[in-house]
């Protein structure tokens, strides 16, 4: 599977085509869906462009994406940097379950963040799947000791601590080895200078991966990408 990560935490001025508004996320989701992508991950924003887990803005973004890209899995973040209080994150996730067409299919939960088990439990209780973010081999050990929570759809092995191409791939290998055998798929990815090398490694290993403006702004040839669909086309063109 190739997932498209459309915006992440990047500021509005990071790229002229970065989708921030809900309608722009929906536009990009439609564009990558036409290329065969069946899963998108987005960071909804409030009217000021700030990341948010507020049900109003999450619901608006997800509903518009669902309208423009029917059948595509829609994931959102629960990042601690957006809401540091785990109890408030849990409340937000529980409220997402009442959003109807605006209810996310999955949410990402980082294993290193306080309250991650409870956030996963809240998501499962309202029928939202979980992507577990594992940033280091230490996180991988934590997950193995805790066990994979119910409703987990995949584990995100995120080689994002370093962006040096060779180091990023080596870190990816360490994380995957530390994870061991899991009952769910692993999606492996890097960021910035490490994004394309880790993606190529994932393709060689036959595991899921992702691409989009959240992870990188340039194509493999170093040129600035024109949009998320440009990055997806570049990824689909890679043969390993």
Within its chain, how far is the Cα of 178 from the centroid? 21
CA distance 85 to 115: 9
Q: What is the pLDDT of residues 175-230, one digit of tens each?
A: 999 999 999 999 999 999 999 999 999 999 999 999 999 999 999 999 999 999 99
Q: How far is CA 16 from CA 11, 61, 198, in A?
A: 11, 20, 25
Q: What is the pLDDT at residue 160?
A: 82
Contact 231, 40 (CB under 8 A): no
In this predicted model, what pLDDT tens digit does every residue of 92-140 receive, in sequence order?
999 999 999 999 999 999 999 999 999 999 999 999 999 999 999 999 9
Residue 221 φ/ψ, nearest 5 degrees: -85, 0
Q: pLDDT at position 161, please?
A: 76
> How far apart are the C-alpha atoms of 223 and 97, rounded to whole Å?
41
What pLDDT score does 169 carry?
A: 93
> Which residues have a Cβ under 8 Å from the Cβ of 22 and sit 6 or more positions away?
44, 57, 60, 61, 64, 65
In three-state secondary structure terms, 111 is coil
Phi, psi torsion values for 37, nearest 5 degrees: -70, 135
**164 pLDDT tier (thresholds 50, 70, 90):** confident
Contact 41, 6 (CB under 8 A): yes
pLDDT at 240 over 80: no
Quick check: helix, strand or coil at residue 71?
coil
Q: By the 8 A CB rule, do 45 and 51 touch?
A: yes
Tokens encoding 219: 């194509």
pTM over 0.85: yes
Interatomic CA distance for residues 105 and 58, integer angstroms: 12
């Amino acid at each position: 599977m190739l997932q498209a990560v459309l915006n992440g935490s990047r500021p509005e001025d990071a790229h002229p085509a970065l989708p921030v508004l809900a309608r722009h996320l929906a536009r990009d989701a439609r564009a990558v869906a036409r290329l065969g992508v069946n899963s998108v991950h987005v960071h909804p924003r409030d009217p000021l462009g700030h990341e948010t887990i507020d049900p109003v803005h999450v619901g608006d973004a997800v509903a518009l994406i669902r309208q423009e890209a029917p059948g595509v899995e829609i994931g959102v973040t629960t990042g601690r940097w957006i809401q540091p209080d785990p109890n408030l994150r849990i409340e937000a996730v529980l409220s997402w379950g009442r959003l109807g067409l605006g209810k996310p299919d999955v949410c990402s939960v980082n294993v290193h963040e306080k309250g991650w088990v409870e956030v996963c439990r809240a998501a499962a209780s309202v029928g939202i799947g979980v992507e577990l973010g594992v940033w280091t081999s230490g996180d991988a050990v934590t997950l193995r000791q805790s066990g994979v929570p119910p409703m987990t759809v995949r584990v995100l092995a995120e080689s994002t601590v370093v962006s040096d191409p060779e180091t990023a791939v080596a870190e990816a290998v360490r994380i995957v080895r530390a994870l061991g055998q899991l009952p769910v798929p692993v999606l492996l990815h890097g960021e910035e200078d490490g994004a394309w090398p880790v993606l190529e490694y994932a393709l060689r290993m036959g595991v899921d991966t992702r691409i989009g403006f959240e992870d990188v702004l340039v194509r493999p040839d170093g040129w600035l990408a024109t949009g998320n669909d440009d990055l997806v086309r570049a990824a689909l063109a890679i043969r390993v």
